[in-house]
Amino acid sequence: MNVLIADDSEFMRSLLREILEEEYTIAGEAENGVEAIELYDENDPDLVMMDIVMPIRDGIEATDEITDSDPGAKVIMCTSVGQEQKMKNAIQAGAEGYITKPFQKPSVLEEIENVVAG
């Protein structure tokens, strides 16, 4: 399974990469919503791990555009504690799940299983 990671923080991308690369192939890494959309179109990943707060276009806008062009897209939002309203907006934009920072490997892998199986 190919996973695209979108987060403006190099640290968060590397953290997610470490958690995922044992079981999944990393399809690409984006630093903002525009890159996420471009990499999604180029690589057609099975799953996107999308940060909500990013420059240029945020994760909600990017998710909206990705799920508009590919209704079958699977997106898991990466959120910080206290972003409940943004999380609701992300679900409306087409996100299928979310994980909360700081990431814990078991919860990340569990959420992926839920979204992929769902």
- Residue 35's CATH number: 3.40.50.2300
| SS3 (DSSP) at 70 | coil
Q: What is the model's pTM? A: 0.94
What confidence tens digit (pLDDT) does each residue in 27-46 have? 999 999 999 999 999 999 99
State how far the Cα of 71 lies from the Cα of 109, in Å rounded to an integer.
23
The pair of three-digit structure tokens given for residue 5, joined into one six-digit string: 């990671």
Q: Are 6 and 59 in contact (CB under 8 A)?
A: yes
> How much is the pLDDT for 96?
95
Query: What is the number of domains present in the chain?
Result: 1
* 83, pLDDT greater than 90: no
57 in Cβ contact with 32 (< 8 Å): yes
Q: Tally Cβ neighbours within 10 Å of residue 118.
A: 8
Range of the domain at 104: 2-117
Q: Is the pLDDT confidence value at 82 over 90?
A: no
